[in-house]
Amino acid sequence: MPFVGEKLQLSGQKIKNFYPQSRQGRTQRVLGSGESQIRRLKLGLMLEETNHSNFNYGYRATKFARMIRLMSEVKTNPYQRPEELWRLLGIKRSQFFEDRKVLAQFGFEFKYDRREKRYKIIRDIFIPVLDLTVTEVISLAMAVRQLSAAGDHTLVWDAVQAIRKIAANAPEAASEMLSYAINQKTLKDTFKVSPKWMNLLWQAQQNRHRTRIFYDDYSRGQKRWFLADIYMIYFKGRALYVDAYLPGEDRIAMLRASRIKQVELLSEEFQVRSDYNFHERHRYSFRVMISESKPVRVRIRFDPKIAPYIREAYWHESQHILGCSDGGLILTLTVAEPREVLWYLVFPWGEGAEILEPESLRQEAARIALQVYKRYTEKKDQGFET
């Protein structure tokens, strides 16, 4: 079965019919200048809807999803061993090398450096932008705010960097507006972070340089300085976070970027700890929180009226749904911090949801419910204005 890169020997007429008239000239010029594999892949993805009869769409979608996951893992978790990567992707060694060969055809090449015990990206092809308007790019910048709540957490930060590249190469007047959209409206206004400090953190991560950070530490109730090796920058639960190793405390910390008040970039270099794996570290996080303890199984029963809303949504990679005879359902999750399930999934549905296990979470729900009941039924303190 030929792959998309082989299949797309497109005639000029097909390209002409596919794109709007205003974009035909630019599109034909770009495809005619070398026809890079990665651009043909991109066009192939867009043309699939009109070519279902020619190949198995489900097979293609699975393969695309796997290769996108492979690219993401190589970029975000380069320090995992080859056999760990194969196991994570759920494929055999032979399939891994086949996928790697296909990605190389599209312009994305990588290898495993056994001396440094990490994957290295050798080539990541540049893709010229096809006639994006200013409003389209601004829409991308605004969409980052929603992407941060779902999807791949690390790739959303890459999207921010991509939009910055587009802004930098736009005409001067448009460039200023686009930079404002991503730096002011998205980073500063929405996520409450400083673009200046985020740029330094990104440089530190890319170049493996140690930093000195001034941080508003809520857990200690004070602002403090500490050394930090930046491992990963990512979005999670509508906020921006940093995974960093703190050498002075010998631990990997999860820092909220909005609490980083100052960053100093040092000349000293660092190596990522061999036991750090972003995916495994955050695998059982339901929303934001992670834990060094063993993950906990949580079972919730939802009433028949609520069940359709639960079925139609994706909650966590561990989710399992069991239907009940009355039309309700039982949702099972395995998570790092069960209280997040209580706060963000159980309480929003009120009496329509019941925690079945663990017992400790049932007791916590009862305790909170009792406190809420007392607050709304007891006589108000006369010292407060009403």
Exposure pattern of 121-148 as b/e (b: 16+ CB <10 Å)? Answer: eeeeeeeeeeeeebeebbebbeebbebb
Phi (first) and psi of residue 254, to 5 degrees: -105, 105
Residue 130: predicted pLDDT: 57
- Do β-strands 108-113 and 329-335 pair in parallel, antiparallel, or remain unpaired? unpaired
How far apart CA 40 and CA 27 sit, in angstroms, is 12
Q: Is the preceding peptide bond at 358 cis, omega within 30 degrees of 0? A: yes
More confident residue, 38 or 163: 163
Tokens 């028949």 belong to which residue?
Answer: 304
Calculate mean pLDDT across residues 159-186.
78
Q: Is the pLDDT of residue 309 over 60?
A: yes
- In tens, the pLDDT along 260-291 reads 999 999 999 999 888 888 888 898 999 899 98
More confident residue, 44 or 121: 121
Q: Is the pLDDT of residue 43 over 60?
A: no
Range with the largest mean pLDDT of 106-120, 133-147, 160-174: 106-120
pLDDT above 70: percentage of residues in the chain: 77
Element (H, E) at 354: strand 353-357
Q: Is the pLDDT of residue 54 over 90?
A: no
Least trusted range by pLDDT, from 48-62, 77-91, 143-157, 243-257: 48-62
Mean pLDDT of the chain: 80
- Write the burial class of residue 1 (CB in 10 Å: 0-12 exposed, 13-18 middle, 19+ buried): exposed
Question: What residue type is assigned to position 207 of the chain?
Answer: N
Listed in sequence order, the DSSP H helices in 326-379 are 338-341, 359-377
Calculate mean pLDDT across residues 365-375.
94
Phi (first) and psi of residue 327, to 5 degrees: 100, -10
- In tens, the pLDDT along 177-189 reads 778 877 888 788 8
Question: What residue type is assigned to position 248 of the chain?
Answer: G
Q: Crossing angle for the helix pair 134-147 and 172-179, nearest 10 degrees?
A: 10
Calculate mean pLDDT across residues 307-315.
95
Question: What residue type is assigned to position 338 of the chain?
Answer: P
Read off the pLDDT band of 148 (50, 70, 90).
low
Phi (first) and psi of residue 58, to 5 degrees: -60, -40
Calculate mean pLDDT across residues 236-255.
93
Calculate mean pLDDT across residues 302-326.
95
Cβ neighbours for 241, distance < 8 A, ≥ 6 positions apart: 233, 234, 235, 254, 255, 256, 257, 288
At 118, is the secondary structure helix, strand, or coil?
Answer: strand
CB hemisphere CA count around 350 (13 angstroms): 3
At 109, is the secondary structure helix, strand, or coil?
Answer: strand
Calculate mean pLDDT across residues 349-358.
96
Residue 14: predicted pLDDT: 39
User: For residue 47, how many other CB atoms are within 10 A of its CB?
Assistant: 17
Dihedral sign of CA atoms 252, 258, 261, 264 in order: positive
- Write the burial class of residue 274 (CB in 10 Å: 0-12 exposed, 13-18 middle, 19+ buried): exposed
Q: Is the pLDDT of residue 307 over 90?
A: yes
Read off the pLDDT band of 312 (50, 70, 90).
very high
How far apart CA 73 and CA 91 sit, in angstroms, is 14
Residue 61: predicted pLDDT: 59
The 3-state secondary structure of 253-288 reads EEEEHHHEEEEEEEEEECCCCCCCCHHHHHCCCCCC
